[in-house]
């Protein structure tokens, strides 16, 4: 009789131990399950800053004469921009770049015989950085007025920027985080589980493209400066525990 009781006690102890181990394993396995999702957000915005530049040059055999004419051109351009409403603080004139130009001489058989000095080429750049986008856009289109006055001026296309980019990125991160959580909750619900604590979050690529453009996204991120109207996008890779 005592032997039977002892056998039963040992059997019960083994069953209880097995149940405890099973519960512990189940908890450990469940605790190691994660949900990995990617949230995304995008927002259209309009640039509030424009940067436009152009360069002008003079080429002459005499360096001093070329320098004098180039400084006269600088004064003419400065006065022209002022007349168009550009503030002195919005324009910057670069240092003058001086190059010596040469022509290579060849004989009738195509062999190089040497080079001939053709003059000094002096070049200077003016940059306009302004918050008045419409004003500077108009100037960049009407710059032919300077060319008609005898100045050799070459204009570049304007570049557009946004001064509140940091605030925009924070706003997009918040939206991407909410989007990631919604995705994770949907997965957890469909899996008959609950969403646990946030374990890890990694910001993906931050892109700025022209609005409604077909620009390709890149691994390092695109930063469009040619379009006034832009679209910012961001991704956020998030990992949650599964309850």
Q: What is the pLDDT of residue 47?
A: 97
Last residue of a domain, one of 111, 145, 160: 160
Residues in contact with 68: Cβ distance below 8 Å, sequence separation at least 6, in sequence order? none
Nearest Cα residue to 213 out of 38, 44, 49: 44
- Where the chain has pLDDT below 50, the residues are 1-2, 5, 9-14, 16-31
Examine the domain organization and report whether 233 and 195 are in the same domain. Answer: yes
134 and 69, same structural domain? yes
Domain limit, last residue, from 113, 136, 160: 160
Torsion, CA 182, CA 187, CA 193, CA 199, rounded to 10: -60
One domain, residues 156 and 79: yes
Same domain? 53 vs 131: yes
Taking the C-alpha atoms of residue 96 and residue 87, their distance in angstroms, rounded to an integer, is 22
What pLDDT, in 10s, does the model give residues 6-48?
Answer: 555 444 444 544 444 444 444 444 445 888 999 999 999 999 9
pTM of the model: 0.77
| Through-space distance between the first and last CA atoms of the chain, rounded to whole angstroms | 47
Residue 135, CA distances (Å) to 4, 43, 49, 129 in order:
102, 26, 11, 11
Residue 6 lies in a domain: no
- Say yes or no: 184 and 202 in one domain: yes
Query: ∠ CA(36), CA(39), CA(41), 5° rounding?
Result: 175
Count other C-beta atoms under 10 Å from residue 229's C-beta. Answer: 14
Q: Angle at the Cα of 216 (from 212 to 222), degrees rounded to 5? A: 90
Vertex 185, ends 182 and 186: CA angle to 5°? 85
Q: Are residues 61 and 150 in the same domain?
A: yes
Residue 7 pLDDT: 55
Query: How confident is the model at residue 32, as a pLDDT?
Result: 54
User: Same domain for 79 and 175?
Assistant: no
CA 159, 47, 227, 137: dihedral to nearest 10 degrees?
-60
Q: What CATH number should be reported for the domain holding residue 83?
A: 3.30.70.2970
At which of 160, 187, 219 does a domain end? 160
Residues 70 and 145 in one domain: yes
Q: Report which DSSP code applies to 220.
A: T
Same domain as 144, residue 196 = no
107 and 72 fall within a common domain: yes
Write out the residue range of the structural domain in which residue 215 sits. 31-46+164-242
Question: Does residue 61 sit in the same domain as residue 148?
Answer: yes
What domain count does the chain have? 2
Write the CATH number for 194.
Answer: 3.30.110.170
DSSP, res 90? G
Task: Tell me the C-alpha distance between 23 and 236, whole Å.
Answer: 35
């Amino acid at each position: 009789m005592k032997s039977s009781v002892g056998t039963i006690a040992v059997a019960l102890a083994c069953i209880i131990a097995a149940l405890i181990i099973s519960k512990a394993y189940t908890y450990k396995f469940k605790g190691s399950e994660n949900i990995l999702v990617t949230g995304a957000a995008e927002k259209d915005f309009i640039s509030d800053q424009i940067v436009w530049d152009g360069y002008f040059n003079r080429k002459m055999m005499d360096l001093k004469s070329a320098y004098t004419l180039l400084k006269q051109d600088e004064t003419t351009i400065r006065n022209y921009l002022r007349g168009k409403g550009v503030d002195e603080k919005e324009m910057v004139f670069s240092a003058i770049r001086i190059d010596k130009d040469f022509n290579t001489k060849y004989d009738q058989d195509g062999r190089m015989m040497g080079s001939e000095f053709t003059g000094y080429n002096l070049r200077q750049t003016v940059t306009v950085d302004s918050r008045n986008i419409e004003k500077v856009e108009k100037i960049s289109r009407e710059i032919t007025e300077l060319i008609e006055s005898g100045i050799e001026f070459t204009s570049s296309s304007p570049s557009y920027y946004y001064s509140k980019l940091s605030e925009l990125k924070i706003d997009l991160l918040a939206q991407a985080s909410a989007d990631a959580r919604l995705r994770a909750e949907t997965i957890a619900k469909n899996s008959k589980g609950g969403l646990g604590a946030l374990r890890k979050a990694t910001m993906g690529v931050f892109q700025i493209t022209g609005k409604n453009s077909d620009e390709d996204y890149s691994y390092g991120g695109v930063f469009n400066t040619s379009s006034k109207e832009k679209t910012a996008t961001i991704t956020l890779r998030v990992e949650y525990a599964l309850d």
